[in-house]
Copies of this chain bind each other. A is one copy, B any other.
Amino acid sequence: MAAPNGAPLGADSEPRRALRVALLGCGVVGTQVVRLLTQQRADLAARVGAPLELVGVAVRDLTIAREGVDPALLTTDAAGLVERADIVVEVMGGIEPARSLMLSAIAAGASVVTANKALLAADSPTLYAAAEAAGVDLYFEAAVAAAIPLVRPVRESLAGDRIKRILGIVNGTTNYVLDQMATEGLDLDLAVKQAQQLGYAEADPTADVGGYDAAAKAAILASLAFHTRVPLASVHREGITGITADDVAWAGRTGHVVKLLAIAERTDDGVSVRVHPALVPASHPLAGVHGAFNAVFVEAEAAGELMFYGRGAGGAPTASAIMGDVVSVARHRVLGGRGPVESKYADLPMLPASAAITRYQMRLDVADRPGVLSQVAAVLAGHGVSIEAVRQAPQPVGLDGEVAPAASLAHLIITTHAATDAALAATVAAIAELDSVTRVVSVLRVEGA
């Protein structure tokens, strides 16, 4: 197409050619990107120094009506569209055809802005290398925690510091589900159904509930924070599928809240990245993160502890992050320069989950007779796991706190001091072997204490 020409804008006196923006995908996020490009046209032109012109929107089905999107812009020819753009915004998701299209765009000289956490976690080296070879930008603020500025602070603001730890809630769906379980006493299935009805969870909730989405975000953040490639396979991942209403209720009784956490730590030995549900003390700021909100702590050597909080999902918040990136890459087109490239120089070793050191809370059904606690305590001591607190309760306890008639069992809630995952696993296996232990009901990590 011919280069369209906008009014003179920016610091220069010359008229600037409009920058051609192509959008791949037009769902909840894409329509908001179109809205911002349209409604803030004049502001964006002034900030960039040249107008941004949406030249096309690639979709699979042309017949779906998309509010606020000019039907003339819609096309099913995504491959053709990326050839005639300066900036390609990818919000279609998934590995293919997103990767091929982005690589075509980069090869054709376009800068790419993407929200595709799954692709970045699976194969960012390929995209980085292509962008670097072509001298174009690859930006992806929206891939982690939507509107919350995290990618830029981690890879730019803290580039002169040494990040030690990232700990946060990066999946709004599971946070909503756990929140509903805690406040309404729902079980997991019902809370997930409710989240689906409200549009917070997909028809197939596996990516969220299974922790896959959070693991992808953890891999992306850890790569940036530690200047090391973090393959998705190195992220220890546990979802919330094993979390029961009983777990959530007992968490509350012991002054905790259950949260799905993403944790990336740098130790003397390397990098540990994991996603799992954990008990967080009720007094910790993360315990107060409700509904579909996200919050992430970043701890750096000089900066100390920082927290970032906001909407981690949704069309408009995700579009906000995308448009911030669009302005950055567009400014590079106008003024020259490029954003950060892949930083992997540190190349730190990945540590297995078994090396992670955390506190634990385990709940056991045990025989209601003297000496059981001392037996269990002896097993813990024998494995070098130190006890911080023990609580005994009649068992079973209903969710309303009333004691049911079954009598000869007791419930033991043990919180340990910090121990390795490996030591804890061996301990739990040994405890399960004890005659007096009927069942290991649950074992949950305790974080943020």
Chain A interfacial positions (CB closer than 8 Å to B): 11, 32, 36, 40, 43-44, 46-47, 132, 141, 147-149, 152-153, 156-162, 227, 285, 288, 300-311, 314, 316-317, 319-328, 331-332, 335-338, 340-341, 343, 345-346
- Say yes or no: A326-B160 contact (C-beta < 8 A), given A310-B307, A319-B302, A345-B46: yes
Chain B: which residue is nearest A342 at the CB level?
B11
Please report the C-alpha to C-alpha distance between residue A141 and residue B306 in the assembled complex, in whole angstroms: 15
Q: List 23 A-B contacts (CB under 8 A).
A: A47-B159, A47-B227, A147-B303, A147-B304, A149-B152, A149-B153, A149-B158, A156-B327, A159-B323, A159-B327, A160-B326, A160-B327, A161-B320, A161-B324, A301-B316, A304-B311, A305-B310, A306-B309, A307-B308, A307-B310, A308-B308, A308-B309, A331-B340
A316–B338 CB distance below 8 A: no
Please report the C-alpha to C-alpha distance between residue A303 and residue B310 in the assembled complex, in whole angstroms: 8
Partner of A158, one of B307, B309, B324, B346: B324
Whole-angstrom distance between the Cβ of A197 and the nearest chain B Cβ: 22
B337–A320 CB distance below 8 A: no
A317–B304 CB distance below 8 A: yes
B343–A160 CB distance below 8 A: no
Chain B: which residue is nearest A311 at the CB level?
B304
Quickly give the copy total for this chain: 2
B308–A11 CB distance below 8 A: no
Partner of A338, one of B227, B337, B343: B337
B160–A324 CB distance below 8 A: yes
B43–A346 CB distance below 8 A: yes
A308–B306 CB distance below 8 A: yes
Please report the C-alpha to C-alpha distance between residue A377 and residue B47 in the assembled complex, in whole angstroms: 49
Please report the C-alpha to C-alpha distance between residue A330 and residue B367 in the assembled complex, in whole angstroms: 66
Whole-angstrom distance between the Cβ of A431 and the nearest chain B Cβ: 38
Partner of A152, one of B32, B156, B327: B156
For A322, what are the chain B residues with a Cβ–Cβ distance below 8 Å? Answer: 160
Please report the C-alpha to C-alpha distance between residue A307 and residue B319 in the assembled complex, in whole angstroms: 18
- Say yes or no: A32-B304 contact (C-beta < 8 A), given A160-B44, A324-B160: no
Whole-angstrom distance between the Cβ of A230 and the nearest chain B Cβ: 17
Please report the C-alpha to C-alpha distance between residue A345 and residue B40 in the assembled complex, in whole angstroms: 14
For A301, what are the chain B residues with a Cβ–Cβ distance below 8 Å? Answer: 316, 320
For the complex with contacts A36-B161, A305-B311, 15 further pairs of A-B residues with Cβ separation under 8 Å are A11-B132, A32-B302, A46-B227, A147-B304, A149-B306, A152-B156, A157-B321, A159-B323, A159-B324, A160-B323, A161-B323, A285-B288, A304-B310, A304-B314, A331-B340
For A158, what are the chain B residues with a Cβ–Cβ distance below 8 Å? Answer: 149, 320, 324
B336–A43 CB distance below 8 A: no
Please report the C-alpha to C-alpha distance between residue A160 and residue B21 in the assembled complex, in whole angstroms: 14
For A306, what are the chain B residues with a Cβ–Cβ distance below 8 Å? Answer: 147-149, 308-311
For A303, what are the chain B residues with a Cβ–Cβ distance below 8 Å? Answer: 147, 310-311, 316-317, 320-321
A149–B147 CB distance below 8 A: no
For A307, what are the chain B residues with a Cβ–Cβ distance below 8 Å? Answer: 307-310
Q: Residue among A44, A305, A310 with the most chain B CB within 10 A?
A: A310
Whole-angstrom distance between the Cβ of A149 and the nearest chain B Cβ: 4
Partner of A162, one of B43, B310, B328: B43
Q: Residue among A141, A304, A321 with the most chain B CB within 10 A?
A: A304
- Sorted nearest first, the 8 A-B pairs with minimum C-beta distance are A337-B337, A160-B323, A147-B303, A149-B157, A303-B320, A302-B320, A306-B310, A159-B327
Please report the C-alpha to C-alpha distance between residue A343 and residue B148 in the assembled complex, in whole angstroms: 22
